[in-house]
Amino acid sequence: MSDNNKINNRLIAFETLLEILEHGQFSHIYLKAVLDKYAYLDKNERAFITRLVNGTVERMLQLDFIIDSVSKTKAKKMKPVIRTIMRMGAYEIFYMDSVPDSATCNEYVKLAKKKGFTGLSGFVNGVLRNISRQKKEIKFTDLCTKYSMPQWIVDKWSDEYGTEQTEKILNGFFTNQDLCIRVNLCKISRDDLADRLKARGISIRKCDTISSALYISDYDSLGAIPEFKEGLFYVQDYSSQLVANMADIKPDDEIIDVCAAPGGKALHCAELASEGHVTARDLTDAKVALINENISRTAAGNITAERWDATEFDQNGENKYDVVIADLPCSGLGIIRKKPDIKYNQTEESLAELAQLQKQILDVVCRYVKAGGTLCYSTCTINKSENEIQVENFLQSHKEFKIKEMKQLFPNEEHDGFFICVMKKN
C-alpha cells in the first residue's frame, strides 16, 4: 500500500468514524455500506480501513483517556473533526505498526488541513507526538479504561458475576474470532464444503461440538465466495447455532420463530425439521424481506416468512407449535465484538425497557406452545435482568413450564456472549 493510498484510506476511515461516533450511525451497518462502496479496493486496503474503524470505535474510551493524558484540551471539548482525527491517530500509534509514529502524525496533520482545520494542525501534531513519546508511560489501571467499557457496565457485571469473571468477559471481546458459518446440510456435506473453500485459499477450522459449524478466515469478502451465493452456507455464530440444537427439534415438528430476522435460526430449524414447517415472523416489511432473501438464497422449501408484531396475540397460533423460538430484542451486550458501539449506546434505563418488552412478548408467545412442546428463549446479551431473572419471573407466572436446560455463554475465540433457556410445557 503506497503512502498516498494510505492517506485516502485514512480519509475513508475518518468519514466513516465521524458518522458512527458523532452522528449515531450503527457501526456494523455503516461500515459494511462503506466497504461495499469501495469494493474495488484491494483486500489489504479494506482490511486497513476495517481495522482502523473498528479499533477506534471499540477502544474509544481508552483513546480519550490517552488523549486527555497529554492534552490540555480534553477530548470531550474538541471539535468533532479534531476529536475523530485524534482518536484515529492515538489508535494507530498504540495498536498499528504499519508505519512509523512520525509518519502517522504527519498523515493526521495533513488530514486536519484537508478537512479545513489548518489553524489546528499544529495542535494535532503536538498532541499526537506527545502520545508517541509518552505511550510507554501511559498505564490503564482500571477495567473501564483498560477495556474501554463504560463504568456502569463494569459495575453491573462485577456485581452479577464478580470482578474476575468480568475481566474474562471484557478480555473475551478483544480475542480474535474467525467467522463462524453454518453449512447448509440439505445441499452439501461439511467436508465437501470445507474442501471447496480450501481450494479457494480460504482457511478452514471445523467445530468439534456442532456438526454444521465451520470457522473460516483468509477470505476477501463473502459476496465474492460462489458457495455463499449458492446458499451452501449461512453466516451464523456458534452460540446462535446452539439454539436449534438445544431445542431438540424433531423431523416433523411445527415451529414458529417469533422474532426471526435475518432468519438464521429459522433456517437452521427448517433444516432440522425436514418433514415439518417453520413460520418465521418479524415486525417490519424490511425484516421480512431480509428473511425471504435468505430463504431464497438457501432454497429452503419448508419455511414461510410473514410480518407480525410479536407483542400481539395470534389466536390461530394458540397451542399449535411443537417448538417456539423466542430470540427476543435485547441490549446486545454479548456481541460487542461485532457491534462495538453498542456499549456506548445502551443505558441502565434502556436495559430495563428491553426487559419489560421481553416479558410482554414471552407472556404472549408462550401460548403458542402445545402441551409437551418447547419454548426456547434466547438473547445475545450478558445481563441477568434480561436472562436468568427474566426466566425466573416468567416461570413464577407460568407454572406449566419447567426449565430443561439453561446456558449463559461468555465471549471467547469460539463464540459471542449469548443466553439460551429451553423450557418444556407440561
Q: Which of 108, 139, 170 is the last residue of a domain?
A: 139
Q: Do 248 and 123 fall within a single domain?
A: no
- Residues 6 or more apart in contact with residue 272 via CB below 8 angstroms: 244, 249, 251, 253
Q: What angle do CA 332, 336, 337 make, to 5 degrees?
A: 140
Q: Is residue 186 part of a domain?
A: no
Please state the domain count of the chain: 2
Q: Is residue 189 part of a domain?
A: no
> Cell for 183?
453449512
Q: Do 410 and 284 fall within a single domain?
A: yes
Q: Do 252 and 385 fall within a single domain?
A: yes
pLDDT value for 99? 87
What DSSP character marks residue 22? I
Q: Do 114 and 248 fall within a single domain?
A: no
pLDDT value for 3? 47
CA distances from 233 to 262, 288, 302 (A): 14, 20, 17
Q: Is residue 69 part of a domain?
A: yes
Q: Which of 112, 139, 166 is the last residue of a domain?
A: 139
Tens digit of each residue's pLDDT (9 = 90 or more) over 253-271: 999 999 999 999 999 999 9
Tens digit of each residue's pLDDT (9 = 90 or more) over 174-221: 999 999 999 999 999 999 999 999 999 999 999 999 999 999 999 988
- Alpha carbon 51 to its chain's center: 15
CA gap 248, 158 in Å, rounded: 34
Q: Is residue 285 part of a domain?
A: yes
Among this protein's residues, is 380 annotated catalytic?
A: yes
Query: Which entry of 105, 180, 207, 380 is annotated as an active-site residue?
Result: 380
Q: Is residue 192 part of a domain?
A: no
User: What CATH number corresponds to the domain at position 251?
Assistant: 3.40.50.150
Q: Is residue 162 part of a domain?
A: no
Given CA atoms 232, 224, 30, 408 in this order, what sign does their dihedral have? positive
Do 59 and 17 form a contact (C-beta atoms < 8 A)? Answer: no
Nearest to 75 by CA among 134, 16, 123, 146: 123
Q: Which of 114, 139, 164 is the last residue of a domain?
A: 139
- Domain span at residue 305 reads 238-425
CA gap 101, 89 in Å, rounded: 9
Q: Do 243 and 106 fall within a single domain?
A: no
Q: Kindly give the pairing relationship between strand 369-379 and strand 321-327.
A: parallel
Q: Do 276 and 407 fall within a single domain?
A: yes
pLDDT value for 7? 52
Q: Do 250 and 126 fall within a single domain?
A: no
Per-residue pLDDT of the chain (426 residues; tens, 9 = 90+): 444 455 589 999 999 999 999 999 999 999 999 999 998 899 899 999 999 999 999 999 999 999 999 999 999 999 999 999 999 999 999 999 888 999 999 999 999 999 999 999 999 999 999 999 999 999 999 999 999 999 999 999 999 999 999 999 999 999 999 999 999 999 999 999 999 999 999 999 999 999 999 999 999 888 889 999 999 999 999 999 999 999 999 999 999 999 999 999 999 999 999 999 999 999 999 999 999 999 999 999 999 999 999 999 999 999 999 999 999 999 999 999 999 999 999 999 999 999 999 999 999 999 999 999 999 999 999 999 999 999 999 999 999 999 999 999 999 999 999 999 999 999
Q: Is residue 231 part of a domain?
A: no
- For the entire predicted model, the pTM comes to 0.93
Nearest to 25 by CA among 57, 73, 67: 57
Q: Which residue has cell 426449565?
A: 403
CA distances from 191 to 6, 212, 220, 237 (A): 40, 10, 21, 19
User: What CATH number corresponds to the domain at position 112?
Assistant: 1.10.940.10
pLDDT value for 1? 46
Q: Mind giving me the DSSP string for 132-158? A: HHHTTT----SHHHHTT--HHHHHHHH
Nearest to 359 by CA among 409, 396, 406: 396
Residue 202 falls in which region: left (phi positive, over 0), alpha (psi -120 to 50) or beta: beta
Do 13 and 49 form a contact (C-beta atoms < 8 A)? Answer: yes
Q: Is residue 128 part of a domain?
A: yes
